[in-house]
Structure 1
């Protein structure tokens, strides 16, 4: 069932080193980013989710991203994910609904938004948001005023403010925030970017 999300920033962790990805997720939580999504394209992503769950505890908002199949969804749930994120709604995912975990389903067009709602999306991942920008989100909100939208793709701090002002429930942010931390494991620049992100957005908005 569609509802408001309890957070405004979803950090998207995607890299090529599982230890670096794990350290990134933990560092984000330490710096106050309360929701993170580990893309299943990251090597050993399920291990990352499992270990992060152990370190962060049962209440952490820890998602699995790039969920493409029902099997992906089941494995993510077993690893300890608390929500799922899919770039779209393929036939296999349609057949899997209703889902065991809350899911953000990717959509771009009005028809895709309706499809996501029909199949029980917690929120609609507007993707790739960069194709239309905040103006497009505003246009979609006219026929869908009660749908929680989470723009993803090309979202930096300036765009995040614009999307939230246009009515987004939350924003998903990847490389503008994560940089190469999930690949190199260099956390100092990550922590600096998180601090800048939190400064650029108000504390109330980021939480």
Structure 2
């Protein structure tokens, strides 16, 4: 799990590619690698997702990781492992998926929303806080006050421009979907992260 976390902390944005075809998912992932991102999440809601996963793995540069999200059952997790997923993500608490990931030696980001769910998931590893837009960055601040050591990845309804707000709220990385595929997204992402990295007046 440490490898995925290290890469996520560096890139700070996790592309979550929920697309209408396997070809579009593969093309989207390739675009993300072109941005310099090294961890990409495809989703099991994409038709023929297994083909998208295999094709993306073949095209992926060395040192990148391709995972599958929206993994909601142990059976689906097994299929994902067989298709070559390098990490798994669930949208909600899914102990059966966790068991498959552990048996396969794969990292797992478990979905959670309530403080109790987040605490339970954080005991095993990083947590996908979903749907994050419902609570907003202030909700993440509250979660971090309760669980300061937790690695939280808010996902769901987050626009690219809002990424710095979530990072300031304590996110390990931020899941972003379709906004990353819009024209000019690469430049917007670089600009936003560069601005986030600039020291504040207090720190100067």
TM-score by length of 2: 0.85
How many residue pairs align between the two structures? 192
Q: Which has the higher contact order (CA 8 A, sep 6+)?
A: 1
**Contact preservation (8 Å) 2:98, 2:108:** no
Q: Is residue 2:122 matched to residue 1:117?
A: yes
* Partners of 1:107 and 1:194 in 2: CA distance: 29
| SS at structure 2 position matched to 1:202 | helix
Of 185, 188, 201, which aligns to 1:196? 188
1:112-166 CA-to-partner distances (Å, cap 9, x unmatched) read 0122134x23x11111111111111011111100000001012123321011011
Q: Give the equivalent residue in structure 2 for 1:159.
A: 162
* Partners of 2:61 and 2:78 in 1: CA distance: 20
Q: Is residue 2:82 matched to residue 1:78?
A: yes
| SS at structure 1 position matched to 2:54 | helix
Name structure 1 gaps, 5 residues minimum.
180-188
Cα offset, 1:35, TM superposition: 1.6
Cα offset, 1:34, TM superposition: 2.0
Cα offset, 1:195, TM superposition: 2.0
Cα offset, 1:57, TM superposition: 4.4
* Partners of 1:165 and 1:13 in 2: CA distance: 24
| SS at structure 1 position matched to 2:63 | coil
Aligned alpha-carbon RMSD (Å): 2.2
1:46-125 paired onto structure 2 within 5 Å: 46-57=50-61, 59-90=63-94, 92-93=96-97, 96=100, 98-100=102-104, 101-118=106-123, 120-121=124-125, 123-125=126-128
1:137-148 paired onto structure 2 within 5 Å: 137-148=140-151
